[in-house]
Amino acid sequence: MFEDAERCYRAVQSRDPRFDGWFFGAVTSTGIYCRPSCPARLPKQANMRFFATAAAAQQAGFRACKRCRPDATPGSPEWNQRADLVGRAMRLIADGVVDRDGVAGLARQLNYSERHLHRQLVAEVGAGPIALARAQRAQTSRILIETTALPMAQIAFASGFASIRQFNDTIRAVFALTPSELRTRSDATALRSGIRAPTAIASAGTISLRLPFRSPLDGGSLLDFLRARVVTGIEACDDSTYSRSLQLPFGAATVALTPLPDHIACSIQLDDLRDLPAAVQRCRGLLDLDADPVAVGAFLDRDPLLAPLGRKRPGLRVPGHVDGFELLVRAIVGQQVSVAGARTVLGRITAALGTRLASPSGGVTMQFPSAAVIAAAAPETFPMPKARAATVQRVATAVASGELVVDPGVDRAEVRERLLRLAGVGPWTVAYVALRALSDPDVFLPTDLGVRHAMEQLGEAGGARAISARAEAWRPWRSYALMHLWTSLSA
pLDDT digit string, tens, across residues 220-274: 999 999 999 999 999 999 999 999 999 999 999 999 999 999 999 999 999 998 9
Domain shared by 247 and 133, yes or no: no
Residue 434 placed within a domain: no
The predicted pLDDT at position 408 comes to 83
Mean pLDDT of 287-303: 95
The per-residue pLDDT for range 164-203, each reduced to its tens digit, is: 999 999 999 999 999 999 999 877 665 555 544 443 334 4
Which of the residues are catalytic? 34, 448
Domain shared by 64 and 86, yes or no: no
Asked if residues 458 and 486 have their Cβ atoms less than 8 Å apart, the reply is no
More confident residue, 346 or 149: 346
Nearest C-alpha neighbor of 30 from the set 41, 16, 39, 21: 41
The predicted pLDDT at position 5 comes to 87
Domain shared by 174 and 218, yes or no: no
Mark 315-352 as b/e (b = at least 16 C-beta within 10 Å).
bbbbbbbbbbbbbbbbbbbbbeeeeeebbebbbbbbee
SS3 content of the chain, % helix, strand, coil (to 5): 55, 10, 35
Nearest C-alpha neighbor of 144 from the set 99, 182, 176: 182
The per-residue pLDDT for range 451-462, each reduced to its tens digit, is: 999 999 999 988
Domain shared by 253 and 362, yes or no: yes
Domain count, the chain: 3
Domain that holds residue 345: 207-290+321-392
Residue 308 placed within a domain: no
Task: Report the C-alpha gap between 60 and 425 in whole angstroms.
Answer: 48
Task: Report the C-alpha gap between 438 and 412 in whole angstroms.
Answer: 7
Tell me which of 94-98, 186-190, 298-302, 313-317 is least confident. Answer: 186-190
Domain shared by 249 and 101, yes or no: no
Residue 30: give its domain's CATH number. Answer: 3.40.10.10
Domain shared by 231 and 347, yes or no: yes
The predicted pLDDT at position 199 comes to 39
Residue 139: give its domain's CATH number. Answer: 1.10.10.60
Strand runs (DSSP E) across 93-153, as ranges? Answer: none
Asked if residues 322 and 257 have their Cβ atoms less than 8 Å apart, the reply is no
**In 320-473, alpha helices (H):** 324-333, 339-353, 371-376, 386-401, 412-420, 427-436, 449-457, 464-471
The predicted pLDDT at position 491 comes to 63
**What would you report as the CA-atom Rg of the chain, rounded to the nearest whole angstrom?**
23
Query: Any idea how long the chain is?
Result: 491
Q: Pseudo-torsion of CA 169, 284, 206, 347, nearest 10°?
A: -150
DSSP state, residue 177: S
What average pLDDT is seen over the chain?
92
The per-residue pLDDT for range 422-443, each reduced to its tens digit, is: 999 999 999 999 999 999 999 9
- Tell me: pLDDT of 486 over 50: yes
The per-residue pLDDT for range 114-152, each reduced to its tens digit, is: 999 999 999 999 999 999 999 999 999 998 898 888 899
Domain shared by 155 and 216, yes or no: no
Domain shared by 17 and 99, yes or no: no
1 three-class SS: coil
Tell me which of 14-23, 284-293, 373-382, 384-393 is least confident. Answer: 14-23
Residue 421 placed within a domain: no
Asked if residues 206 and 214 have their Cβ atoms less than 8 Å apart, the reply is no
Q: Which of 42, 57, 72 is the endpoint of a domain?
A: 72
Q: Pseudo-torsion of CA 411, 417, 419, 422, nearest 10°?
A: -150
The per-residue pLDDT for range 359-373, each reduced to its tens digit, is: 898 899 999 999 999
Domain shared by 118 and 181, yes or no: yes
Domain shared by 247 and 349, yes or no: yes
- The DSSP annotation for 196-219 comes to PPGGGT--TTEEEEEE--PSP--H
Task: Report the C-alpha gap between 481 and 303 in whole angstroms.
Answer: 10
Q: Which of 165, 193, 221 is the endpoint of a domain?
A: 193
Asked if residues 461 and 471 have their Cβ atoms less than 8 Å apart, the reply is no
Residue 272: give its domain's CATH number. Answer: 3.30.310.20
Number of helices (H), then strands (E), in the chain:
23, 11
Task: Report the C-alpha gap between 235 and 255 in whole angstroms.
Answer: 10
pLDDT above 90 coverage of the chain, percent: 83
Residue 300 placed within a domain: no
Task: Report the C-alpha gap between 200 and 474 in whole angstroms.
Answer: 49
Q: Which of 361, 392, 423 is the endpoint of a domain?
A: 392
* Angle ∠(327,332,335) on CA atoms, nearest 5: 125
Domain shared by 65 and 96, yes or no: no
DSSP state, residue 344: H
Residue 340 placed within a domain: yes
Residue 94 placed within a domain: yes
Domain shared by 126 and 240, yes or no: no
